[in-house]
DNA sequence: ATTAAATCGATAACAAAGTATCGATATAGA
DNA sequence: TCTATATCGATACTTTGTTATCGATTTAAT
């Protein structure tokens, strides 16, 4: 529901979620001081179990670590980036250029993660023809043709919940292979299309439930 | 890393994530036609296992279901809402009123989920004093005092990654008990403070990894 | 009234993820 | 050079989460 189910390449879904944190942490280190980094140190920094870190790293890196010293930071970084696909760019389009859509369109950080959002689509005449951070906003009727022509694989849905399934169908029709869905609904897609849900309301529910329980404890 | 670890009230973390989808789905049904709803139907609609649905519902609802007919939709809705804490409001403040922060501040949907974002904080003079959807933007030096006075429990972090830990410390100092963190970094907090990470970059990594593998398959 | 079909709840089997342990090995310091 | 220690990788174990099965129960149709 939340994540993809399958675990590709021997890496579990949950492990995959941890990888960006490893990468981020290792990158944040002072290179001179930490040319090598060990599993226990990473584990401590990220509040994880040391064995888990070792296992996760083993799954994505052949570089291997040395007893006493740990792993070579540089190699880990490049292995993680390679594994996460940060080096190969996916082309994406976004549908629904409202508050959230605009935030995503203007975010630079995705480019470092191998996602290139080419343009936005909306049904609102007022916004069609404008651009957000240099990215054009186009009408929906251009969607299919452009996706085919530019071989876009990823579609981002930031329209209101009740429009989401319709837009989803349109994206599938346009040859999209993966959908990043921010609308709080379950989408129906053919088998060959991936859906990654980013359900902030669900996330919030988890937070508030835990908060309630945590406050109760005292 | 991604979620809270503990499973309160006999509901696993993963189950908790599914609950909002159940709620959403059941609410979307035509009341007249579906005054009762069965686990197999819900399972089919959300692409889940029937037994899992039954188990999840059993954990949050005492209403119980009847053979042949299923559960009473109305009761399920109210039990789910109650369990998820949608009836009791948490007060929140948000720090970092940039692209993403503005989107969150202007989103109405959180109110139905029991989250009330009172106001925003930023360090940028240009935005301080303005308001977003009726919510005031204040300078950081007002943060601590206001949080104490209004007994704010939830803090939302939407500042750049490198500022996040500092803001986090400030929130902890201000008595915040739960942090919803949108910056792609691991935050260090005392035991009694909850952190829910909303790491879009990590989410994207999962998506793009799966996409790559999925495209490879054919 | 009896029977057939659908669904429930409980239990049990299975699968996945996380953690502990242990021997092997590389390094730093005696 | 030798020894103590930190860390690795592999294996075994534990916990958590998912799925299958089965008897019991309710309803609707014969
Ligand atoms: N803003 C948030 O913080 C936030 C939080 C959680 C979830 N979400 C979800 O994200 C989605 C977008 O939220 P938002 O706050 O940006 O909403 P919004 O109303 O600001 O933007 C929606 C945009 O979609 C466009 N749109 C509507 N119907 C369309 C259609 N059929 N085709 C193309 N474009 C269409 C509208 O013109 C508008 O520009 C919603 O599903 C919402 O539930 C948003
Ligand atoms: N925009 C997105 O789509 C997106 C996606 C993924 C992650 N994020 C993360 O969310 C965070 C915010 O992203 P954004 O795109 O809104 O950035 P942004 O630059 O648009 O906004 C950041 C805001 O924080 C304020 N700020 C900076 N330092 C501050 C401080 N010390 N105290 C108070 N306010 C401060 C700035 O004035 C600005 O208003 C970042 O950590 C980013 O990595 C954003």
At B213 the pLDDT is 85
Contacts for B44 with CB less than 8 Å, ≥ 6 apart? none
Residue A65 has pLDDT above 60, yes or no: yes
Ligand 1 pocket residue status of A200, Cβ below 6 Å: yes
At A7 the pLDDT is 56
**Ligand lying nearest the CA atom of residue B128:** 2
| CATH number, domain containing residue B182 | 3.40.50.720
| CATH number, domain containing residue A34 | 1.10.10.10
Kindly report the average pLDDT of chain B as a whole number: 93
The beta strand positions in A77-186, using DSSP E, are 90-95, 115-122, 131-132, 135-139, 154-157, 178-181
At A8 the pLDDT is 58
* For residues B119-142, average pLDDT: 97
Is A212 inside any structural domain?
A: no
The 3-class SS string of chain B reads CCCCCCCHHHCCHHHHHHHHHHHHHHHHCCCCCCCEECHHHHHHHHCCCHHHHHHHHHHHCCCCCECCCEEEHHHHHHHHHHHHCCCCCEEEEEECCCHHHHHHHHCCHHHHHCEEEEEEEECCCCCCCCEECCEEEEEHHHHHHHHHHCCCCEEEECCCHHHHHHHHHHHHHCCCCEEEECCCCCCCCCCCCEEEECCHHHHHHHHHHHHHHHHHHC
**Phi and psi torsions of B66, nearest 5°:** -105, 140
Among the candidates B84, B101, B122, a domain finishes at B84
User: A123 lies in which domain range?
Assistant: 90-202
Ligand 1 pocket residue status of A161, Cβ below 6 Å: yes
Spatial distance from the CA of A133 to the C1' of D17 (Å): 44
Clarify whether residues A139 and A189 are in a common domain: yes
At B5 the pLDDT is 46
Question: What is the Cα–Cα distance from B202 to B160, expressed in whole angstroms?
Answer: 16
Q: Which nucleotide is nearest to B69 (CA to C1')?
A: C7
Clarify whether residues B146 and B49 are in a common domain: no
Clarify whether residues B127 and B171 are in a common domain: yes
Clarify whether residues A120 and A168 are in a common domain: yes
How does pLDDT run across A170-192, given as a tens digit for each residue? 999 999 999 999 999 999 999 99
Clarify whether residues A148 and A98 are in a common domain: yes
Among the candidates A34, A69, A84, a domain finishes at A84
What proportion of chain B, given as a percentage, has pLDDT over 70? 95
Clarify whether residues A188 and A106 are in a common domain: yes
Query: Which of A's residues 62-121 have CB atoms within 7 A of nucleic strand C?
Result: 66-69
Q: Which nucleotides of C are covered by protein (CB under 7 A)?
A: 5-11, 16-21, 24-28
At B42 the pLDDT is 97
Nearest beta carbon to residue B200 from set A1, A185, A198: A198
Is B215 inside any structural domain?
A: no
Atom of ligand 2 at shortest distance to CA of B101? Answer: 16
> Cβ atoms within 10 A of the Cβ of A161, count?
15
| B131's tokens | 């308001």
**Nearest residue by alpha-carbon distance to C1' of D10:** A55
Question: What is the Cα–Cα distance from B66 to B37, expressed in whole angstroms?
Answer: 10
Is B70 inside any structural domain?
A: yes
Clarify whether residues A15 and A40 are in a common domain: yes
Clarify whether residues A52 and A20 are in a common domain: yes
Q: Which nucleotide is nearest to B36 (CA to C1')?
A: C7
Clarify whether residues A108 and A188 are in a common domain: yes
Question: What is the Cα–Cα distance from B127 to B135, expressed in whole angstroms?
Answer: 12
Is A109 inside any structural domain?
A: yes
Total tally of structural domains belonging to chain A: 2
Is B2 inside any structural domain?
A: no
**Contact status, residue B120 vs residue B97, Cβ threshold 8 Å:** yes
Confidence class for position A3, pLDDT limits 50, 70, 90: very low
Burial state string for B49-62 with b = 16 or more CB within 10 A and e = fewer than 16? eeebbbebbebbbe
Question: What is the Cα–Cα distance from B202 to B198, expressed in whole angstroms?
Answer: 9
Is B211 inside any structural domain?
A: no
Question: What is the Cα–Cα distance from A173 to B213, expressed in whole angstroms?
Answer: 21
Clarify whether residues B100 and B184 are in a common domain: yes
Chain B residues touching A16 at Cβ < 8 A: 205-206, 209
Among the candidates B66, B84, B102, a domain finishes at B84
| B97's tokens | 């009123």
Residue A82 has pLDDT above 80, yes or no: yes
* For residues B152-168, average pLDDT: 98
Ligand 1 pocket residue status of B109, Cβ below 6 Å: yes
Q: Between residues A6 and B159, which one has the greater pLDDT?
A: B159
At A9 the pLDDT is 66
How does pLDDT run across B9-52, given as a tens digit for each residue? 678 889 999 999 999 999 999 888 889 999 999 999 999 999 99
* For residues A100-124, average pLDDT: 97
Clarify whether residues B23 and B53 are in a common domain: yes
Is A100 inside any structural domain?
A: yes
Comparing alpha-carbon positions, the chain A residue that sits nearest to B44 is A188
Residue A5 has pLDDT above 70, yes or no: no
How does pLDDT run across B43-76, given as a tens digit for each residue? 999 999 999 999 999 999 988 899 999 999 999 9
Largest CA distance in chain B: 63
How does pLDDT run across A7-56, given as a tens digit for each residue? 556 788 899 999 999 999 999 998 888 899 999 999 999 999 999 999 99
Question: What is the Cα–Cα distance from A125 to A54, expressed in whole angstroms?
Answer: 53
Clarify whether residues A20 and A95 are in a common domain: no
Tell me the CA end-to-end span of chain A in Å, nearest whole number: 33
CA distance B210 to chain A (A): 7
In whole angstroms, how far apart are CA B142 and each of A89, A197, B93, B134, B193? 43, 36, 12, 18, 21
The verdict on a CB contact (< 8 Å) between A103 and B106 is no
Q: What are residue A124's DSSP bridge partners?
A: none
Bin B46: left if φ > 0, else alpha if -120 < ψ < 50, else beta: alpha
* For residues A184-209, average pLDDT: 94
At A217 the pLDDT is 75
At B9 the pLDDT is 67
Residue A213 has pLDDT above 80, yes or no: yes
At B218 the pLDDT is 61
CA dihedral A203, A206, A212, A217 (to 10 degrees): -130
- Is A167 exposed, middle or buried (CB count within 10 Å of its CB: 0-12, 13-18, 19+)? buried
Residue A214 has pLDDT above 50, yes or no: yes
| A31's tokens | 């290179």
Is B214 inside any structural domain?
A: no
* For residues A141-148, average pLDDT: 97
Q: Give the closest residue to A142 by CA, choosing from A132, A152, A134, A133.
A: A152
At B3 the pLDDT is 43
Of the listed ranges A93-97, A111-115, B31-35, B67-71, the one predicted with least confidence? B31-35
């Amino acid at each position: 529901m939340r994540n993809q189910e399958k675990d590709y390449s021997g890496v579990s879904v949950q492990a995959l979620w941890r990888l960006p944190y490893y990468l981020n942490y290792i990158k944040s280190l002072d290179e001179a001081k930490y040319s090598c980094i060990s599993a226990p140190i990473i584990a401590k920094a990220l509040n994880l179990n040391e064995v888990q870190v070792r296992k996760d790293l083993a799954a994505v890196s052949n570089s291997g670590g040395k007893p006493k010293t740990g792993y070579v930071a540089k190699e880990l970084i490049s292995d993680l980036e390679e594994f996460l696909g940060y080096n190969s760019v996916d082309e994406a389009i976004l549908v629904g250029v409202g508050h959230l859509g605009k935030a995503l369109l203007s975010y630079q950080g995705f480019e470092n993660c191998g996602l290139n959002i080419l343009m936005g689509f909306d049904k609102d005449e007022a916004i069609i023809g404008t651009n957000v951070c240099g990215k054009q906003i186009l009408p929906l009727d251009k969607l299919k043709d452009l996706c085919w022509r530019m071989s876009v694989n990823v579609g981002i849905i930031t329209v209101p919940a009740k429009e989401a399934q319709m837009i989803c169908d349109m994206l599938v029709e346009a040859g999209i292979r993966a959908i990043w869905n921010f609308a709080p609904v379950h989408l129906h897609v053919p088998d060959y299309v991936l859906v990654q849900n980013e359900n902030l309301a669900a996330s919030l529910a988890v937070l508030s439930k835990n908060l309630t329980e945590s406050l109760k404890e005292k």
